[in-house]
Amino acid sequence: MAGPSRLGWLDALRGIAALVVVFDHSAYSFMPDFRHELMQYFNTSRYGIMVFFLVSGYIIPRSLERRGCVRTFWIGRIFRVYPLWAAVITVLLVLHALGVAQIRDFGSHSATMVALAHITMLQELLGTPSLLLVLWTLSYEMAFYLLVVALFTVRLHRRPPTLAITLAMLAAASVAAGLGLPPSALSNLFGTGPVIVIAAITMGVALCCASSRSALLRTFGGVLGGVLALALVAFNGTVPLWEGLVILAVMFLGTTVHRAESGRCTWGFAAVTAAVVVACAVGSAYRYGDGDHFTRCGWILAFLLAVLTFTSGLAARGRSLPRLATGLGTISYSVYLVHPVLLAVFDSTAGRRHQDSLAFEAAFFTVLLPLCLLTYRYVEAPGQRWGRRLARRVQCNAHPSSVQRQHPPVA
């Protein structure tokens, strides 16, 4: 058993979420009949993803506020996310060139635009399919980062958090009013290339300005990035409008829990926020016309269980947890990004199973987890160390909007 840790429960939740997502994707290859039956009642992929979003909503604002500096926050995020992302994409492209893995067809999109969209990590919100299907969630994570920085730079991060309620109610209202847009609406209207270029330039300007020493530029950059994130999620996402808003609401629900734990709002307010978000999300999913009854119910059950899982983890915070659970959380990012590459290799070589095979499913996990230990040790961990070193060199003076740091920054 590991000793009590303030963040050990979050690692455990990450580990659970990663394993469930891997099971969902691997079962498509190794246990197709079982997965087909299960998906009618329980959307395993959405369950894992929603747990991830709740955890991010809790930890990302905490990380920024502990650092008290937008510049070092972005350095930390870049060195936390990009090294493994770049390594996995590079390996996938090499394997594709060798003929042992297939990548998604990008149709008429140019390689330059696809690459630029992926570098921003907003590709799923820029009308460009992700090289790996799982990368779509990182686009919503990046949008959340931009929104959190926006709140920080305009000093709204200390106010009672109402954004989760607002976004959830907007999601419900959009369904009730029958509002909906086709996937990637802005890209279809103006063209994918122009949207990618404008978004990339806007994001670059927003990050540079928000990281500057000038209070005016910090505010401008933060607001610019937040507006970009909201516009892309609302008008250029690949999921329906209501679900894009629910995803952001879920992440800000995690933020509300962090606020309650730090004493900036009451637990009663957090409970009301959770009730509103859950009610709006469930109501929106049930009333949304796309998909049959079972598909909607599978999404709803997955969502409710994700919230229950996060609540259970929150109740267990500070308690001793098994090392296996926290260890899986430590390598969860590797598990999330590496497993589709391994599946692509298998599908291109051995092919998918036509009948359920629990032995193949178990063998896949047996290969995957040791591989992820290696990618964590030799890719993720060094990247995080480099990020911490660079952050110490460029640490900015405490912003007026920063909070006093009493603990080491969260990576």
CA distance 367 to 86: 21
The reported pLDDT for the residue numbered 44 is 93
Say what percent of the chain tops pLDDT 70: 92
- Percent of the chain whose predicted confidence (pLDDT) is above 90: 67
Is the pLDDT assigned to residue 138 strictly greater than 70? yes
**pLDDT per position as a tens digit, 357-384:** 888 899 999 999 999 999 999 999 999 9
**Is 80 exceeded by the pLDDT of residue 295?**
no
Residues in the chain, how many?
411
pLDDT at 353: 67
How does pLDDT run across 43-101, given as a tens digit for each residue?
999 999 999 999 999 999 999 988 889 999 999 999 999 999 999 999 999 999 998 98
**Res 292: pLDDT:** 61
> Nearest 5°: phi and psi at 2?
-85, 150
CB 251 within 8 A of CB 54: yes
Per-residue H/E/C for 108-147 = CCCHHHHHHHHHHCCHHHCCCCCCCHHHHHHHHHHHHHHH
Q: In this structure, are residues 30 and 227 in contact, taking their beta carbons and an 8 Å threshold? A: no
Confidence of residue 182 (pLDDT cuts 50, 70, 90): confident
Q: What is the mean pLDDT of residues 205-233?
A: 95
pLDDT at 395: 77
**Would the pLDDT of 408 be above 60?**
no
Average of pLDDT values for 385-396? 89
Say which range, 285-289, 290-294, 372-376, has the weakest mean pLDDT.
290-294
The pLDDT score that the predictor gives to residue 105 is 80
Cα–Cα dist 236/354, whole Å: 37
Report domain extents, the chain. 8-394
| Dist. CA 297–CA 14, nearest whole Å | 24
